Amino acid sequence: MLARAQERVWLFVERGTASVNWNEDINACAAIVERGDPLRFRTAMLAPLAQRAKLFALYAFNVEVSRAPWVTQEAMIAEMRLQWWRDVLEEIATGATVRRHEVATPLSAIISPDQARMLDTLVAARRWDIYRDPFEDGDDLTRYIDQTAGSLMWVAASLLGKAQEAPVRQAAYAAGIGAWLRAIPALEEAGRVPLLDGTPGGVADLADGGLVALGQARKARDKIGRLCAPALLLATAAEPALVAAKAHPQSVVDGALPDTGVGFTLRAALGRW
């Protein structure tokens, strides 16, 4: 897997624009994303040549953070893993020397101090994944989705081009809810309580909220530069799942939501979301 990703990345990274160590780091990041988040790997491939390496570094960071709570049954160890990444982001935010690491090093080269502080909220939100407590209310779940999917998409879009934050976060909410609904069976099997209202009506309402957010984001498409499209394609990819979950809520529990589908492929080819 790493060898295949390395072969691909050498085609993506402009030779002469980075050191050998940088390229080796990006190779590792690409392999992490390809293995751990194939959909974001596909969308990163659609970014302009000079920007793909940035997305590999950012998305590899997200893979490492998102899986940290799940690689151990010991809450204290999971907390320490997340704290390690918070320390990295603090180093970036304060301009301190960033520890050498195949993901942390390239990440420090592409994000600003403000972006590091924003990504810190993403890491902090992942503490929910460690424990078995339900969300307090709808606002708590919305905040979790915004701090994870929203912050990640906003930083990704910012790395690619110019955009207004609000519609990007609306698109991210749709993407986040779509991914959340897909994850329901696995989360419940792991002993988590991912739904505030697990009734068919509650599931349909959650999916509808994602579709409404996507519609609002698309109405403001002119406020998001076309170069940002690869970052927002996750919202398009979530649309079939949101539509199915609204119409047939039982498909969420059954783990029978549809994949990204032809619509995602066509929109990706056109650079649209």
Tell me, what's the pLDDT at 262?
Answer: 62
Q: Report the C-alpha gap between 230 and 192 in whole angstroms.
A: 31
User: Domain check: are 87 and 171 in the same one?
Assistant: no
Start-to-end C-alpha separation, the chain: 29
User: Domain check: are 144 and 34 in the same one?
Assistant: no
User: Domain check: are 51 and 114 in the same one?
Assistant: yes
User: Domain check: are 141 and 85 in the same one?
Assistant: no
User: Domain check: are 142 and 270 in the same one?
Assistant: yes
User: Domain check: are 91 and 147 in the same one?
Assistant: no
User: Domain check: are 110 and 177 in the same one?
Assistant: no
User: Domain check: are 127 and 137 in the same one?
Assistant: no
Q: Report the C-alpha gap between 85 and 107 in whole angstroms.
A: 11
User: Domain check: are 166 and 80 in the same one?
Assistant: no
User: Domain check: are 21 and 76 in the same one?
Assistant: yes
Domain boundary, last residue among 106, 131, 156 = 131
Please count the structural domains in the chain. 2
User: Domain check: are 107 and 221 in the same one?
Assistant: no
Domain boundary, last residue among 131, 149, 171 = 131
Residue 184 phi, psi dihedral angles, 5° rounding: -55, -50
Tell me, what's the pLDDT at 261?
Answer: 67
**233 neighbors 218 (Cβ within 8 angstroms):** no
**56 neighbors 25 (Cβ within 8 angstroms):** no
Tell me, what's the pLDDT at 12?
Answer: 38
Domain boundary, last residue among 131, 153, 170 = 131
The answer to whether the pTM exceeds 0.85 is yes
Distance of CA 86 to the CA centre of its chain: 17
Q: What angle do CA 115, 106, 169 make, to 5 degrees?
A: 30
The boundaries of the domain holding residue 220 are 133-273
Q: In the beta sheet, which residues pair with residue 163?
A: 224
User: Domain check: are 95 and 121 in the same one?
Assistant: yes
What does the chain look like in DSSP terms, one character per residue? -HHHHHHHHHHHSPTTSS-HHHHHHHHHHHHHHHHH-HHHHHHHTTS-HHHHHHHHHHHHHHHHHHHGGGS-S-HHHHHHHHHHHHHHHHHHHHTPPPPP-TTHHHHHHH--HHHHHHHHHHHHHGGGGGS-PPPSSHHHHHHHHIIIIIHHHHHHHHHHS-B-HHHHHHHHHHHHHHHHHHHHHHHHHTT----S--SHHHHHHHHHHHHHHHHHHHHTGGGB-GGGHHHHHHHHHHHHHHHHHHH-THHHHTT----SHHHHHHHHHHT--
The candidate with the shortest Cα–Cα distance to 273, out of 194, 214, 223, is: 214
Q: What residues of the chain score a pLDDT lower than 50?
A: 1-21
